Amino acid sequence: MRATLRGFIEKNFYIPEGETLGDEDSLLDRGVIDSTGVLELIGFLQHEFKIEVADDEMVPENLDSIARIEAYVARKRAVAA
């Protein structure tokens, strides 16, 4: 899952050449994703991982780093199972 998330983020959002994006790095603080990008990310998560992202779940605690996104998706999938 982490590789899929990283691939999507690196393909669809700007990461300066030569810089690496750590799993715990803040996507918002690093300027990788803005508010419009968050919506694009949510659309990807819903389609790719077959989860529903509720409005009250669209918070940095769930979506601000690759590690947080992975943990969030894992929780959502566990509840659905």
H, E, C per residue of 41-55: HHHHHHHHHCCCCCH
Tens of pLDDT, residue by residue, the chain (81 residues): 999 999 999 999 999 889 999 999 999 999 999 999 999 999 999 999 999 999 999 999 999 999 999 999 999 999 987
Radius of gyration in angstroms for the set of CA atoms belonging to the chain, rounded to a whole number: 12
Domain ranges across the chain: 2-80
pLDDT given at position 81: 78
Contact, 62 vs 52, CB < 8 A?
A: no
Please give the span between the terminal C-alpha atoms of the chain, in angstroms, as a whole number.
Answer: 17
Contact, 15 vs 32, CB < 8 A?
A: yes
pLDDT given at position 77: 94
**CATH classification number, 2-80, choose in 2.40.50.140, 3.40.50.10470, 1.10.10.10, 1.10.1200.10:** 1.10.1200.10
pLDDT given at position 45: 98
pLDDT given at position 21: 94
pLDDT given at position 80: 81
